[in-house]
Amino acid sequence: MTDADHLIDATTAEAIAQGRHGDPFAVLGLHELDGKLVMRAMRPEADAVEVIDAKTGRALAELDRVADGLFAGVIPRRKKRFPYRLRMTRGADTWEEQDAYAFGPKLGEMDEYLLGEGTHHQLWDALGAHVGEHEGVTGTHFAVWAPNALRVSVVGDFNGWDGRRHVMRRRGATGVHEIFVPALGDGTVYKYEILDGSGNLLPLKADPVGFGAELPPRTASVVRDLDGYDWSDGGWLSKRGAKQKIDQPISIYEVHLESWRRVPEEDNRSLTYLEHASMLVDYAKDMGFTHIELTPVSEYPFGGSWGYQPVGLFAPTSRFGTPQEFRQFVDACHAAGLGLIIDWVPGHFPTDQHGLGRFDGTPLYEHADPKEGFHPDWNTLVYNYGRTEVQNFLIANARFWFEEYHIDGLRVDAVASMLYRDYSRKEGEWVPNKDGGRENLEAIAFMQRMNEVVYAADDSILTAAEESTAFPGVSAPTDAGGLGFGFKWNMGWMNDTLRYMAEDPINRKYHHDKMTFGLHYAFSENFILPISHDEVVHGKGSMLSKMPGDDWQRFANLRAYYGFMWGHPGKKLLFMGCEFAQGQEWNNETSLDWHLLDHAPHQGMQRLVRDLNTLYRDTPALYQKDSSEDGFRWIDGGNAADSVFSWVRYGADGQKPVLVVSNFTPVPRTNFMIGVPNDGHWDEKLNTDAAIYGGTDTGTPGGANAQDISMHGCPYAIEITVPPLATVFFQLS
């Protein structure tokens, strides 16, 4: 027994030394005991510990070892707390550090109230790792939610990954643990070491609100200072709301950053955020797209998931650079007049042991019952949307991307899997809701609340849902019972029309309704027409390979289909590579086949998509009334025998209407009479069969004058030549 043993009882000393004490701040650091000022320090890496006056640098006391790694001693002639440092000695080495247990809590009363209530919509300001100053000292503040843990420690190289060194302070009933560690800054690698409620040591956990991560396959979080970035996109943000309304042209280029373009000369590496900021942004702008959409950039452990199994929702993946470099990419998009949408995955998360699963030893973020908390399709875990703190975590994350990274939109993945409790489950493998139904009422309430919160914070942004069922009101306001999304992907249109296009032209007349059925519901939601990555993977082939016929016909079919798509009501989305008719199915491990652009048919397809985007953006009739029935009129939607479709698009009052005619057979239709609603000259504005696109140059290049002939319910008609396997746009002069 040493003279210092009376300064701490044996049970407490043993608990501190073993890292099992639930309230180390009540023990470690400076404390008054029996009229004396006592210092206790847990320093297992040291042979000796001294207390140093931080102002004078004078040694005040050498502490005695009272347990394994635990030192204690009385500070002579001192009665009150004072600024101090610790001087450690091990062998011939001596160093000084400030003591984390010298600092009080950093989270304020309002943070604690909102965290406890589960309404802290700027959660990232409280939780995570924040570089900054606390009580006059620079360091990093760590905070994490783990309500059922016996204790939580932050560990890293800075403390030898020893969970006894920096055990965190529990903040009452909130379940939050926090600690300020002096001298740590940007780039510090860390994880959380957690003992569950029974004292069992869990696998080390990454920070759920971490702002950075190690490069996979390493899995630790990295401290990233998000302050200090000088944004230059004020002009864009002031105009963003006007550009993202339902009456505006929105044409989205969907991109998987890892495989858009690679550098074969450098071990086939992917481009960085900064390289994408010039190459990808310049390309998307040149191609006439209005937006880029990225597959999820939230940190994900398995590259083959393409980001759809995220483990770090608050961290842009380190695969392509730092958070500040990602901000530069966003800034570059905005400087080029491009909006940036990112895919967001609140539907599920992976079971990787460093992730959210059983985070504090209990099913904290997920449901305990696998019938509710496990996805059989993806072997992932499902968020417990009915838990207030989990809902708050996700809603705050949505706001985080808008506020910290100036993202312009979120496309929410796999919404159908969230809406229904029996999604991909057999009878007996799912739990009905409180009313006995299959709808996930908690998930519905979460999505409604998320949209309410993000749009209330900034109504210039957009949200879009990938929702593959007929769930009503996905893009309807929440006060009308809808989910509140700005847009919905039209999966039904995509599936029907691609099935039609796969048919041999001689058989298409028997499947005519697949191209027309979408118009029965086209105005029930604010739709985006998606040709996404999901259509060119898993054995589905490329868009070009879906088309029937010989090489010429396959290209012609695809050109005609793109024309049909750009003329159809709904915003547009096209996955990378589809714009130049990538020949092979998409492979996330290699670059797109850019060399195909050495060949005329692929050049022609690329030029067509560029021209379609230009025509679309410059022609209000093609976008202003996408979600309104009075913006569309069939001229002849029933010509199954010829497999010809014709319709008119209308814009706001005073805008010139556009006639769209699609012929999905290889037979040119000459002297073809078609009704039009207006007298005058109808100019041929774009013809997917033009020679510059690889076509036969069949068409009506000079346009046609309306004749005083009633046809197709119209008072006038024009005589045109409809090219084979082509879509033609005419506009009233």
Nearest to 554 by CA among 632, 444, 666, 717: 666
In this structure, the number of other CB atoms found within 10 A of the CB of residue 385 comes to: 23
φ/ψ (deg, to 5) at 469: -115, -175
Domain boundaries, the chain: 5-99, 109-222, 246-348+387-620, 629-732
393 within 8 A of 377, measured Cβ to Cβ: no
Q: What is the DSSP letter of 326?
A: H
Per-residue pLDDT reduced to its tens digit, 143-169: 999 999 999 999 999 999 999 999 999
Q: Which helix (H) or strand (E) holds 636?
A: strand 632-639
Distance CA 324, CA 321 (A): 8
Distance CA 61, CA 76 (A): 7
The separation between CA 205 and the C-alpha centre of its own chain, rounded to angstroms, equals 22
| Two structure tokens written together for 122 | 């700027």
Q: Where are the beta strands (DSSP E) in 186-290?
A: 189-195, 221-222, 251-255, 262-263, 269-270
Q: Where residue 2 falls among pLDDT bands split at 50, 70, 90? A: low
Residue owning tokens 């009233």: 732
Distance CA 153, CA 624 (A): 56
292: three-class secondary structure by DSSP: strand
Distance CA 731, CA 733 (A): 6
φ/ψ (deg, to 5) at 644: -115, 135
| Two structure tokens written together for 553 | 């016909």
Mean of the pLDDT values across residues 485-514? Answer: 98
Q: Which helix (H) or strand (E) holds 85?
A: strand 84-90
Is cis: bond before 472, omega within 30 of 0? no
In this structure, the number of other CB atoms found within 10 A of the CB of residue 629 comes to: 12
φ/ψ (deg, to 5) at 600: -55, -45
Query: Whats the size of the chain, residue-wise?
Result: 733
Q: What is the DSSP letter of 26?
A: G
Distance CA 563, CA 570 (A): 13
CA distances 722 to 657, 692, 699, Å, are 19, 17, 6
Distance CA 697, CA 723 (A): 8
Q: Where residue 444 falls among pLDDT bands split at 50, 70, 90? A: very high
Residues catalogued as catalytic: 413, 466
Per-residue pLDDT reduced to its tens digit, 575-607: 999 999 999 999 999 999 999 999 999 999 999
Transcribe 686-724 into DSSP letters.
Answer: EETTSGGGTS---S-TT-EE-BS--BTTBSEEEEEEEPT
Asked if pLDDT for residue 1 goes beyond 60, the answer is: no
Cα 523–Cα 526–Cα 532 angle in degrees, nearest 5: 115
Which are the contacts of 370, defined by CB distance < 8 A and separation ≥ 6? none
Which are the contacts of 626, defined by CB distance < 8 A and separation ≥ 6? 246, 247, 526, 527, 569, 570, 571
Distance CA 95, CA 110 (A): 38
Distance CA 563, CA 649 (A): 14
What is the pLDDT, as a whole number, of residue 115? Answer: 87
Distance CA 84, CA 52 (A): 5
| Two structure tokens written together for 663 | 């012929």
Distance CA 387, CA 364 (A): 9
CATH 3.40.50.150 holds for 109-222: no
The separation between CA 186 and the C-alpha centre of its own chain, rounded to angstroms, equals 24
Cα 605–Cα 566–Cα 528 angle in degrees, nearest 5: 120
Residue owning tokens 């470099």: 325
Question: What would the 3-class secondary structure string for 518-530 be?
Answer: HHHCCCCCCEEEE
What is the pLDDT, as a whole number, of residue 77? Answer: 84
Q: Tell me the sheet residues that pair with 729.
A: 660, 686
Mean of the pLDDT values across residues 372-399? Answer: 95
- Evaluate whether 109-222 and 246-348+387-620 have a shared fold: no
Which are the contacts of 59, defined by CB distance < 8 A and separation ≥ 6? 50, 51, 52, 53, 87
Domain 246-348+387-620, second-level architecture: Alpha-Beta Barrel (3.20)
Per-residue pLDDT reduced to its tens digit, 384-394: 999 999 999 99
What is the pLDDT, as a whole number, of residue 554? Answer: 98
660 within 8 A of 727, measured Cβ to Cβ: yes
Domain 5-99, second-level architecture: Sandwich (2.60)
Domain 629-732, second-level architecture: Sandwich (2.60)
The separation between CA 220 and the C-alpha centre of its own chain, rounded to angstroms, equals 20
Per-residue pLDDT reduced to its tens digit, 68-121: 999 999 999 887 889 999 999 999 999 999 999 999 999 988 998 898 888 899
Mean of the pLDDT values across residues 528-548? Answer: 97
55: three-class secondary structure by DSSP: coil
What is the pLDDT, as a whole number, of residue 531? Answer: 98
% of the chain with per-residue pLDDT over 70: 99
448: three-class secondary structure by DSSP: helix
What is the pLDDT, as a whole number, of residue 345? Answer: 98
Mean of the pLDDT values across residues 12-38? Answer: 93
Q: What is the DSSP letter of 204?
A: P
Tell me, what amino acid is at 81? R
Per-residue pLDDT reduced to its tens digit, 179-191: 999 999 999 999 9
pTM of the model: 0.96
